[in-house]
């Protein structure tokens, strides 16, 4: 379990009205946009459970859109995120799914498309009090909170990939706090999430990509 800070309780400092439905939603989208390479052009949010039922009155839609544009939870621009997204030429839409009920009550799927047309989808859960986690990236179940600096690696499920990753990180003096592997199925696409207390060197990406089984590397820095 990750560390719960006193400022997760007395906090976040945030634009209202709901820590789970406004600040949490903003935080999920804020984390999601960090995983997308290039410039966001189009975004689709699918809301489940309580999110689907009550998003309008909680400003969940404005908060998600604000977060996807990189706004923090206490940024008063969240109130005007529809207008700002319009000015930036970002296409957005909101869907609800009330059929699937075996998800966390505050769940959102975010499908992002960048200027090159590359798609990425992320599922996030708002756990209450502004705490969140990402539980799915492009159909693969993961667990990721954004509380640490992280590198997310998409790879082929082959021997030696994890060794390559740890070697590259140790060469650069990165201390690994957590490291987890997830895969679609044997021999197929897999994900590695490595979290560190310290900021990760930006050029670690190139070094990691030297292994032919590594397809994509996303750096998600805390600040």
Partner 1 sequence: MVDFKNAEELLALCSQGGQKISAVMKQRECDLGEVTMEQACGRMQKALTIMRQAAETPLETPVKSVGGLIGGEAGKLELHRSMGESICGAVLGRGIAYAMAVLEVNASMGVIVAAPTAGSAGIVPGLLLALQEEYHFSEEQMVDALFHAGAIGYLAMRNATVAGAVGGCQAEVGVAAAMAAGAAVELMGGEPRQSLDAAATVLMNMLGLVCDPVGGLVEYPCQNRNAAGVANALIAAELALSGIRQLIPFDEMLDTMYQVGKRIPYELRETALGGCAASPSGCRFCH
* DSSP conformational letter for 200: P
C-beta separation of 215 from 137 below 8 A: no
DSSP-derived secondary structure for 74-135: T-GGGGGHHHHHHHTT-EEEEEEE-S--SS-SSEEEEEEEETT--EEEEEEEEEETTEEEEE
* By the rule CB under 8 A, 72 interacts with partner 1: no
Half-sphere exposure of 68 (CA within 13 A, CB side): 34
How far apart are CB 135 and partner 1 at their closest, in Å? Answer: 16
- Rounded to whole angstroms, how far apart are CA atoms 50 and 126? 11
Positions 99 through 128 that interact with partner 1 (CB under 8 A)? 105-106, 126-128
Among 49, 67, 124, 146, binds partner 1 (CB under 8 A): 49
Can residue 96 be called a binding residue for partner 1 (CB under 8 A)? no
Assess 198 for contact with partner 1 (CB under 8 A): no
Position among 123, 131, 136, 164 found at the interface with partner 1 (CB under 8 A): 131
Region 160-189 residues binding partner 1, contact defined as CB under 8 A: none
Provide the binding-site residues for partner 1, judged by CB under 8 A.
Answer: 1, 3-23, 49-50, 53-54, 56-59, 74, 76, 78-79, 105-106, 126-131, 197
């Amino acid at each position: 379990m990750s560390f719960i800070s006193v400022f997760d309780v007395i906090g976040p400092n945030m634009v209202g009205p709901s820590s789970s439905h406004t600040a949490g939603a903003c935080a999920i989208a804020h984390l999601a946009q960090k995983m997308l390479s290039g410039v966001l052009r189009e975004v689709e949010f699918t809301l489940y459970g309580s999110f689907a039922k009550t998003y309008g009155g909680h400003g969940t839609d404005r908060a998600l859109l604000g977060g996807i544009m990189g706004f923090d939870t206490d940024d008063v621009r969240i109130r005007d995120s529809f207008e700002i997204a319009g000015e930036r030429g970002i296409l957005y839409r909101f869907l609800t799914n009330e059929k699937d009920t075996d998800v966390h009550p505050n769940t959102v799927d975010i499908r992002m498309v960048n200027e090159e047309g590359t798609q990425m989808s992320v599922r996030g859960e708002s756990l209450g009090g502004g705490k969140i986690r990402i539980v799915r990236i492009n159909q693969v179940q993961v667990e990721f909170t954004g509380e640490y600096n992280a590198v997310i690696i998409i790879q082929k499920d082959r021997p030696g990939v994890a060794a390559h990753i740890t070697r590259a990180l140790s060469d650069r003096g990165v201390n690994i706090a957590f490291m987890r592997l997830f895969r679609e199925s044997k021999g197929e696409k897999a994900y590695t999430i490595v979290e560190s207390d310290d900021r990760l060197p930006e050029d670690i990406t190139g070094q990691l990509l030297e292994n032919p089984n590594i397809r994509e590397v996303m750096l998600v820095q805390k600040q």
